[in-house]
Each structure stands twice: as structure tokens, then as C-alpha cells.
Amino acid sequence: MTAIRDDATTTDAVAGGTSGGTPNGTPARSSQPGLSPTSKSSGLQAPAISTSHLTKRYGKARGIEDVNLTVLPGEIFGFIGPNGAGKSTTIRTLLGLIHKTSGEASIFGWDCEKDRTRILQQVGYLPSEVFYYDGMRARDLLSYAASFYRVDCTARIRELAAKLNLNLDQKVEDMSLGNRKKVGIVQGLMHSPSLIILDEPTSGLDPLVQRVFFDLMLEERSRGATILFSSHILSEVQRICDRVAIIREGRIIATQSVADLRRSAVKRVTVEFLRTDIEEVTHAFLTVPGVRSLSIDGHDIDDRDGTDHDVAGRDVAGRNVAKHTADRLSTASLLYEGDCNTLISALAGMTLTDVEIAEPTLEEVFMHYYQTPESGSASVQSDSAQSKATAR
């Protein structure tokens, strides 16, 4: 986890090996009076994270614009969007690694810039990429990081290393990407922070370690920690998060519970019908507003310009819609936003053998929010296409 050090003489956030820096990690709860998760003005419990019209621009280039977030104490909050959407910029602004252009941001009621020293005492941060002093053993690196925390983290380091199957006596330079990521996880959790900020945390981890990692996050939540979970792997967010915010081109476009987001946005509709009705069914679906991602027998039907489909079942691109030669049935699959009665009414007079209406996956919801008429698709990865996260 990237080191964020803030004391009387130095304020820096550096990767291990950088001149004047510390190994990757964040300051832990110290023996000094720490951050109290209450509002300074009212004494009531404050949001773990709160932003109001938070904006960061890089000259004329967009960073984030009017970001409004409220993360409640004790929840696991998902923050999703493809690379370049503004996730990391938001996180770095919250941590004071970069200065905001305008707006407000606070953690547990404390201003992210004015009260940064207090805040950093209780934050654990795992960036998408971690860097360390290569010549150090993991044990020595973690002990060095713990010296900034003013608490004894020895037992917790051993506990976390055992759970993650991390060899503390191995030099960092000899470690795989996955083991380096394990070091970052240990460093970010060893001081029991009140707020854990994770930026693409599972990149480089194999599936077994990912399972252990998610168990650790649930344990952290059970002891009262708040977790901001930034990812573009949507199945991960759906698996662990209570609520989620979707960021697009630097702006928040939706914030809801995972369950409500799946219920309210779109439905996954599957219709089985006689193959002889394939032309009529295709035309019917294409004329109903709110239909997206239509496919017939597994072939995408992305025609939205009114071009006719011939009775043989060819779409505008000339692709053959699969024919069930041993079967008289075809299947249509689509996402739909609207009154399902309207959709079914459009199919009146056709022979339907089965209709299924189900909640979509979070990935389908994300694509629904993220697709634009100009682009037609979003830059998003499912867990079947996980790759190393790039700097956003």
C-alpha cells in the first residue's frame, strides 16, 4: 500500500524506493490522539467519506467534475468505471495526493486538505500498482513501515502473512506481482485502519488469494472499518459491496445499493418463440423503445436505423441468425428498460413458448448506463478478461 506520510517536517506520498520516501503503506492509528469518526461541529457520527461538487482539472483537461459522494461508516462502497473515468483521481484527491480545483471533501468530518495529518493516521490505501525498496525482505519492509505507525504491528503482520501465504523472509525484488500485492495488503491492514481505500486491489492475485482477500475485507467490515472499493471488475463489486457509484467521464451518473441498481435500471428478458415468427419478433423488438442488446439465437441484432430484416433471419450486417434445424424454436435475449407489459404486448399474435424476465447482472447494468449512441459500447472488463490496471 502506498506510503502516505504526513508529519511536522514532511508531507509526502511516495512509492518505496523513491528519494526521501517510505515503503508502500499508510500511517496507522498512532499512540497520539487519533481521528474520531464524529462531526467536529455537531458531535454526531459523520460520513466516512463525503464530497460536494468535488472537481479536479488538469489545465483544460478533465479530471473529475462535480463529484458528490457519501460513504457511510461501516459499509463497503463500490466505485466503478473503466480506466480513465476518474476513479483514481477521486481517490488521490481524497488522500491529499493532489489538490482539488474546487468543491469540498471530508473523511469522518475532517477536511481532506486542512486535516490531512489526522486523517492519514487512520487510512489504509492500496493503489493499483505498488512499488517497494527491492533490496529489503518483506519482514524488514513491513517493520520499517510499522515504525511510522507508533504501534506494535508484529502480531498482525504475522497473522495476515499466514492467511495470505506470504513468505516474510523473501526479498521484494524476488517476488512475483501477486506476492508484491500481498505485501501491500498486509501493510494496509496491519494497523487496523478506520477507512480502507482500495484501487483495483485484486490485480495480480490468483483466484484462491482473491477469495482470502475478500474474506479479509468482510472481517475488516465486521470490526467496524469502512471500505471504498474501486474496481472495473464488476463481479467483484457485486460480490462484496453494499452500495455502488458509477463514474463516467469524471461525473457520478448513479449511486444506489447493488440490489436496487439491478432492480431499477433494466431487466434481462428472454423469449422463446416459433422460428416461423423470427422476422416479426425481430421487427417487434426493434420498434419498442427501451430495448437494448438484442440477440436472436446468440447473434447480435444491433440494427437501430430501421433497416428491414429478411425472412431468412439475416440482420443488417449480413450475419445469418442461427437456424434450429432440429428444432422449430428460436430464442431472443435483450435488456429492457420500461414497462414489461408494453414489450409483451408488442408480441401479440405471435406464438411464444416461454418468457423469462430477470434482474440483470451488475455488468449489464453498468453497460446500460455507460453505452452512448456515439460509442455503442463502454470500455469495461468482465472477470474473464482481467488485466493489469493502468494508471487512470
Which segments of the chain does DSSP mark as H helices, in order? 87-94, 116-120, 138-146, 154-164, 177-189, 207-222, 234-240, 258-264, 278-287, 340-345, 362-370
Over residues 113-140, mean pLDDT: 89
The answer to whether 68 touches 120, Cβ cutoff 8 Å, is no
Of residues 312 and 41, more confidence is placed in 41
Of residues 27 and 137, more confidence is placed in 137
Euclidean distance between the first and the last CA atom of the chain, given in angstroms as a whole number: 17
Q: What percent of the chain has pLDDT over 70?
A: 75
Whole-number pLDDT of residue 17: 34
Whole-number pLDDT of residue 336: 87
The three three-digit cell numbers of residue 233, written as one number: 471488475
The pLDDT of residue 235 is above 70: yes
The pLDDT of residue 141 is above 60: yes
Whole-number pLDDT of residue 43: 53
List the beta bridge partners of residue 72. none
- Mean confidence (pLDDT) of the chain: 79
Over residues 126-133, mean pLDDT: 85
Whole-number pLDDT of residue 268: 85
pLDDT digits (tens, 9 = 90+) for 286-310: 988 888 889 999 888 865 444 444 4
List the beta bridge partners of residue 227. 76, 196
Q: List domains and CATH numbers for the chain.
A: 3-262 (3.40.50.300), 266-359 (3.30.70.260)
Question: Is residue 44 very low, low, confident or very high in pLDDT (cuts 50, 70, 90)?
Answer: low
The three three-digit cell numbers of residue 36, written as one number: 474520531
The pLDDT of residue 145 is above 80: yes
pLDDT digits (tens, 9 = 90+) for 330-361: 999 988 888 888 888 888 888 889 998 887 77
The pLDDT of residue 241 is above 90: yes
Dist CA 204 CA 131 (whole Å): 14
The pLDDT of residue 129 is above 60: yes
Question: String of b and e for 311-336 (b: at least 16 CB within 10 Å)?
Answer: eebebeeeeebeeeeeeeebbbbbbb
The pLDDT of residue 24 is above 70: no
